Chain A
Amino acid sequence: MKLTIGHLYPDLLNLYGDRGNIQCFCKRLEWRGIEAEVIPFLSGSRIDFSKLDIVLLGGGSDREQELVCQYMKEIKSDFKNYVEDNGVVLAVCGGYQLLGKYYKTDKKMIEGLEILDIYTEWEPERLIRNIILNSPLFSAPIVGFENHGGRTYIGNHTPLGKVFFGLGNTGKSGYEGVVYKNIIATYLHGPLLPKNPQVCDYLLERALKRKYGEDIKLEKLPDRLEQKANNYIVGRYSDKKYVLKETIKRYT
């Protein structure tokens, strides 16, 4: 078996250790004896979505997103068909925003792919901190780091999870990310997957099932270290004293 992962525009969208997500996909396939191929699509290159099993859309600065926007127009309908055909997508931060209708920054209006019925608006205060979600999709919490100026309004979409600690989509809604078909879109980096192997395996399994049929099941991997890293963040922010201390530090 083999999965092909398309990394979209790594020359423009490569913030916050996105390489870690790719690395995590590949290693967790490799450790199970499944082949993985990564195709980086630099801006301007042609993308054949029919050859892809997973698409990764990473984060970029506001300026770089503006540049991406022009390349997006060329792939808009192909990308949409891929998603509706249950193609697997992981979109992080800037990539998450670009899946929506638009991202209104302080200076410009960036047109999105219109795959999700969501929109993002910029506010001067950036939302920056560790974040923990509880998601009905997974038994273990999802941990990561958020750093975004945009506030994303997700309308009727299903969020990825409820914010246990942190700020999330708008800083006020109490929810974070979007799950739609086989898309997971989120502000969480850190990178997302290594400390949340449950999310990685969820996406891998979806991609394998789409390609090789419904009876595919992923074998378990020893994830002790992953759990330790995940538990550390959860433990830290479950400690009310620590949270209070950090809050005081933040505002002084």
Chain B
Amino acid sequence: MRLQSKLAIRCAKLTSMLIKKLNRGSGVTLPGYVARLIDPQILSVMSGMVREKTIVTMGTNGKTTTNSILYHVLKAEGKTVIINRTGANMLNGIISAFVLATDRKGRLHADYACIEVDEIASVRVLPQLKPDCALLTNISRDQLDRFGEVDITYNKIKTAVLSVPETKLILNCDDILSYSLTQDCQNSYVTYGISEQIFDDISRSEIRESIFCRSCGKKLSYDFFHYGQLGIYHCPNCGLKRPEPDYTAENIVLHDTARPSAKPSAGTMEKGQCAAASADYAAQVSLSAGRPVLSDRMYSFTLGSMEISSQARSPYNIYNTLSAYAALCALQAPMKKFKQTIESFDYGNNRESVFTINGARVQLHLAKNPIGFQQKISLVLKDPDPKDVIIQINDTYQDGEDISWLWDVDFQYLANANAATITTNGTRRHDMGLRLKYEDISCSSTTDLRKTVEKLTAEGTKNLYVIVNYSGLYRTNHMLTELQAITKGGAAS
């Protein structure tokens, strides 16, 4: 290895150590920055040391879950795998993941690298990483203030893919935007898609993107929509149509299981824990001391010849599992333990956690764009019990400074959600309040989230949903964990 690279790795590690010593945050991006300052080629050097394959996951929704599935499956096959931490999906964060995983001599011992890449960052990351395959979950409306328009996001991804012609693409062919890459790029590709209608009306919403043919500009015809612009489409004018996918999930069934009481006992919650977790990933998961949600209704489906009884309770996660399956098949990666791994996989990550505070069941959910939020509303509606709801909307750069997307979410359904109270919080709590007001749904607002949670768990319905967007996630998770510890799970039997 070049001296320059060695020095870069050393300094990055030193930076990371300093950050931890000084207790200045998690230190996931600065070490990467330092390494890149010293050796601009560091990422190419590092990815060259991966023994078998490098997989990149991109797309608006489902990146983290899909990447985590890939990681766990490969891990279960006895492979050493490098993964970047949630949110650390820009250039510096990715470099950090690599350099901090090296041994004392700066050597990397990894069979696979599973790397989640932000769409904007992809233009700089992909040419250096030269992945064996790039998995694209979907392209939809997200943080428009950062990306400008969905077409800009598409063009970023296209530019990134054009820079790595050897990389195999794993594409969602139900998404006309993703599938357009096959026309604009020469890369080899495989497709995945779902031909059964599995999303409910509430998830579907009216959010539409790109329902016009990308070849001829005429309006596309849809047999049905999954959600957003995803669905079974064809162009009546030029004949472009959604192809028969190379990989698909079939026989999709949502199983009803006996519904646990609103105040579940601690024992029922442990089942969903992930089996395998490296130190790094464990750190990521342990951020949520809350136990994973045990779903009331879970999906089973068939992938190829495998019948899988998953713990997925949103149809999204079928897509995520299918895309990971397609990528692994395309790479001819070992998959003997795929079924076993998926069946014990906790789709919640730290994005959906359940806490018991003052004897009340408290669920924390992340919703950072209209499609994600729509799914959460659908989830809230599936719970018939009385509930309290807190919605926190912030507008930091990470969240997206433009919060107009709130008006693309069908909040009117919350009127029938059996919600005793709805409280808004966050820097844009009044915007959220207005959104509800214009659906004739009454709510109040708070600047003290902790106090509100304490009050609602003590005096409310004992069934609290807290929905936050990105920047509030860690702080809220931390606060709920603390409250859970203080009240010692309260009166939970």
Contacts and interface: CB of A to CB of B under 8 A. Distances in A.
Given A17-B406, A61-B149, A194-B438, A43 B401 contact: no
Interface size band for B = 20 to 34
Interface string A1-12: 000000000011
Contacts of B440: 27
Interface string A166-207: 000000000000000000000001110011000000000000
B62 to A, nearest CB: 23
Given A61-B149, A61-B150, A147-B144, A16 B212 contact: no
Interface string B414-458: 000000000000011011011101111000000000000000000
Given A11-B219, A232-B430, A63 B151 contact: yes
Interface in B203-223: 206, 208, 211-212, 217, 219
B238 to A, nearest CB: 14
Given A16-B144, A147-B145, A191 B431 contact: no
Given A14-B208, A67-B217, 10 more contacts: A20-B404, A20-B407, A44-B219, A61-B149, A62-B149, A128-B402, A147-B145, A191-B404, A225-B437, A232-B430
Nearest to A66: B217
A12 B220 CA distance: 12
B224 interface: no
Interface in B145-187: 145-146, 148-151
Contacts of A19: 206, 407-408
A158 interface: no
9 contacts: A18-B407, A19-B407, A27-B438, A61-B150, A62-B151, A126-B148, A191-B404, A229-B430, A249-B397
Contact of A128 (B148, B217, B439): B148
Which residue, A44, A229, A232, has most C-beta atoms of chain B within 10 A? A229
B405 interface: yes
Contacts of A63: 151
B424 to A, nearest CB: 10
Contacts of A12: 212
B151 A229 contact: no
A219 B201 CA distance: 37
A228 B404 contact: no
A24 interface: yes
Contacts of B219: 11, 43-44
A153 interface: no
Contacts of B405: 17
Given A17-B405, A61-B151, A229 B438 contact: no
A72 interface: no
A49 interface: no
Given A17-B404, A62-B151, A67-B217, A194 B434 contact: yes
Contact of B145 (A43, A128, A195, A225): A128
Contact of B402 (A14, A18, A190, A249): A190
B208 A16 contact: no
B430 A225 contact: yes
A88 to B, nearest CB: 20
Interface in A198-246: 225-226, 228-229, 232
A86 to B, nearest CB: 27
Nearest to A197: B434
Interface in B102-144: 144
B153 to A, nearest CB: 10
Contact of B144 (A15, A27, A62): A15
Nearest to A28: B438
Contacts of B150: 61
Contacts of A18: 407
- 9 tightest A-B contacts by CB? A17-B407, A20-B407, A17-B404, A229-B430, A61-B149, A228-B430, A16-B404, A145-B402, A61-B151
